[in-house]
């Protein structure tokens, strides 16, 4: 990824945190307010206006903000207004049960002026990736594709597909008048695993489908996690299902570390660094569990050995005021 991507990501991460954490100080700076409004698109599912890139103004939507969050198809166009070498990004986000296809219709990004495009399978904020390396089927080096040069739509199209409902296009175009046209599609994902939450109300089910895999749901705000249904560790090594409900078992990181649900939080996106508030397992069709997570990032992580068909259904509600946040953090 770009050497300057970390500083750009820190800015977006601090904005997302400021938008959701009530105690954060927000000044009247126009640029900061603009980014706060853009970060709100993560939950509001809104996108930009119209633009042009070598064709009609009615067809293309312009990218005018350095940090741009969208769930629309586009096509989007960006034309560099200056020779600045700032690193910017288009953060694609869609429904939990969909992936993202990023289509380059054309691009003119001179390599000899250190221009660069990079497509990231996931989101990068504060120098960290979601999904983390431990939760993704591909190593980090295979999740980032960098390129530059010149192409036109009638010659070829470059298409990149994400593994989950979040993807990122980073770009550095330090030459006025150069740029790209990109669009997105959002095909169905039959077995979603890692999910960036786009709702503060809708429940979501993490499931391993019998695979040895870690699946994570994150929300970029302090949240209250409600567990709606739990079925983790219900099959033994010989494939025999245990239908009797056990209720919700706690501290499963010591009792059953291979099959468990971790509920906790983090200051950044790396889910391997989460502070675990509770780890649960068992079979419970009507659990009565609510956990407050007073962190910048709320995390629910399903860890599966591959011997069990595990699932957990949760909803993450935002902690919306100071009183709730102070109660949740024990202040």
Per-residue pLDDT tens for 168-199?
999 999 899 989 999 999 999 999 999 998 87
Looking at residue 156, what is its pLDDT? 52
CATH of domain 199-329: 2.60.120
Contacts of 235 (CB under 8 A, 6+ apart): 241, 242, 307, 308, 309
pTM beyond 0.85: the answer is no
Burial label, 72 (beta-carbon count in 10 A; 0-12, 13-18, 19+): middle
Instruction: Give the domain ranges of the chain.
Output: 5-185, 199-329
Residue 328, φ and ψ in degrees, nearest 5? -65, -35
Percent of the chain residues topping a pLDDT of 70 = 74
- What would the mean pLDDT of 318-330 be, rounded to a whole number? 59
Distance, CA of 216 to CA of 194 (rounded, Å): 5
Query: Which of these ranges, 77-91, 146-160, 242-256, has the smallest mean pLDDT?
Result: 146-160
Q: Which residue is listed with tokens 């080096």? A: 141
Distance, CA of 26 to CA of 7 (rounded, Å): 19
* Mean pLDDT, all residues of the chain: 77
**Which architecture characterizes domain 5-185 according to CATH?**
Sandwich (2.60)
């Amino acid at each position: 990824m770009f050497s300057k991507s970390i500083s750009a990501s820190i800015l977006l991460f601090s904005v997302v945190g400021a938008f959701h954490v009530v105690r954060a100080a927000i000044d009247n700076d126009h640029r900061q307010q603009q980014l706060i409004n853009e970060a709100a698109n993560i939950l509001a599912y809104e996108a930009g206006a119209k633009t042009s890139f070598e064709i009609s103004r009615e067809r293309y939507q312009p990218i005018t903000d350095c940090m741009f969050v969208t769930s629309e198809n586009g096509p989007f166009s960006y034309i560099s207004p200056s020779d600045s070498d700032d690193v910017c990004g288009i953060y694609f986000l869609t429904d939990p049960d969909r992936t993202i296809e990023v289509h380059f219709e054309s691009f003119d990004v001179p390599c000899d002026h250190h221009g660069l495009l990079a497509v990231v399978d996931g989101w990068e904020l504060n120098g960290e990736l979601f999904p983390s390396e431990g939760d993704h089927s591909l190593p980090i080096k295979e999740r980032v594709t960098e390129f530059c040069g010149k192409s036109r739509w009638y010659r070829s199209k470059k298409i990149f597909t994400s593994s989950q409902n979040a993807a990122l296009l980073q770009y550095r175009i330090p030459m006025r008048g150069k740029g790209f046209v990109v669009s997105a599609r959002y095909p169905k994902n039959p077995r979603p695993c890692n999910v960036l939450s786009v709702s503060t109300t809708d429940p979501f089910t993490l499931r391993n489908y019998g695979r040895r895999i870690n699946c994570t749901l994150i929300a970029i705000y302090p949240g209250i996690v409600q567990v709606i249904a739990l079925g983790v560790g219900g099959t033994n090594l010989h494939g025999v299902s245990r239908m009797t409900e056990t209720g919700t078992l706690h501290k499963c990181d010591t009792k059953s570390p291979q099959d468990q649900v971790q509920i906790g939080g983090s200051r950044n996106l790396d889910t391997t660094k989460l502070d675990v508030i509770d780890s649960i397992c068992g079979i419970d069709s009507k659990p009565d569990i609510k956990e407050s997570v007073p962190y910048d990032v709320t995390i629910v992580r399903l860890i599966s050995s591959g011997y069990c068909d595990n699932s957990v259904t949760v909803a993450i509600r935002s902690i919306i005021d100071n009183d709730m946040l102070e109660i949740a953090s024990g202040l």
